[in-house]
Chain A
Amino acid sequence: MYNGEAYITGTCVVRNNRIYRDGVLLLETPQEQELTDFLRAGYDQVSGQYPKFHKMDPLSKLGWLAAEVLLKDAPLNSYPPESVGLILANKSASLDTDLRYFDTVKDIASPALFVYTLSNIVMGEISIRHGFKGENAFFTADAFDPGFMAGYISQLFLENAVSACLCGWVEVMGPVYEVIMYKVERSGGELVFNADNLQKAGSI
């Protein structure tokens, strides 16, 4: 009988104008470079050929880019789309974009910004790109909580609600941002999915 065990099969960390995959530096740009330009550099290096990226808000770009890093060479397409979940968390929800949108309301409200005034839109963008249709949730907390994330997702695996998922922390508020995203699968890895290993794998 399946005991709910799962494995961390990939990690992507984005912070300080650097992108890491499984602890290996993929991209580094000058520290003084603004987030918008850093994200464009990341897109050019990792993906390209997805013009919708340019219309996303910074939160969606960060999450989308991290998912791209994790899935580019090792996609989750061997799993039924309904069994691939997305569980993310951050501190500021969509406040970064909410404030930009609020600024436009004084003149003519921007439809393009309005559609990003929900934090879970980032999961929609990732799902559209990769065809995920499984369980999803977006939590807001003061800081990344590996214990909570491990507990919640382990239960999803135990209940067979997911066979694989992307999970982690995608935060942005103005120039301050951080992504710690994990790929977790029911089998195929050596690093057991638990709070300690989430903490270790995300520490760079």
Chain B
Amino acid sequence: MEKLMAALKAQIVEQLNLQEVKPEDIGDDQPLFKDGLGLDSIDALEIIVLLQQHYGIRIANPEQGPEIFHSVRTIAEFITAHQTAK
């Protein structure tokens, strides 16, 4: 899980072009949107693309978005659950 979260942080910084954020600056449980990292709706779409490109995962139910994308940890848990279910 730690390794996956570290990889995710680096991928988020790269994919979202967060040039003034270092991957290690992102907390495992830090909210990614609003008052947390300050990501917006376009960033959410980019994370969906990231999951598809790097992990082959498509979000089947958009209503799950806020729950899955809450933090790096929740995304990592979603990826792990998805890979286990395969």
A residues at B contact (CB < 8 Å): 40, 51, 54-55, 108, 110-112, 115
Least CB separation from A49: chain B residue: B20
Q: Secondary structure of the A side of the interface?
A: helix
Chain B min CB distance to A43 (Å): 9
A111 touches B17 (CB 8 A): no
How far is A110 from B16 in the complex, measured between Cα atoms in Å?
A: 11
A111 touches B45 (CB 8 A): yes
Of the candidates A40, A51, A54, A112, the one whose C-beta lies within 8 Å of that of B46 is: A112
Least CB separation from A107: chain B residue: B53
Contacts of B52 in A (CB 8 A): 108
Of the candidates A51, A54, A108, A112, the one whose C-beta lies within 8 Å of that of B53 is: A108
Determine whether B18 belongs to the interface, using a CB cutoff of 8 Å to chain A: yes
Of the candidates A54, A108, A111, A112, the one whose C-beta lies within 8 Å of that of B20 is: A54
Q: What are 20 contact pairs spanning A and B, CB under 8 A?
A: A40-B19, A51-B19, A51-B21, A51-B38, A54-B19, A54-B20, A55-B17, A55-B42, A108-B52, A108-B53, A110-B46, A110-B49, A111-B42, A111-B46, A111-B49, A112-B16, A112-B43, A112-B45, A112-B46, A115-B42
Chain A min CB distance to B6 (Å): 22
Of the candidates A54, A108, A115, the one whose C-beta lies within 8 Å of that of B17 is: A54
Contacts of A108 in B (CB 8 A): 49, 52-53
How far is A115 from B43 in the complex, measured between Cα atoms in Å?
A: 11
Nearest 7 interchain pairs by C-beta? A111-B45, A54-B19, A51-B20, A54-B17, A108-B49, A111-B42, A55-B17
Q: Which of B40-64 contact A (CB under 8 A)?
A: 42-43, 45-46, 49, 52-53
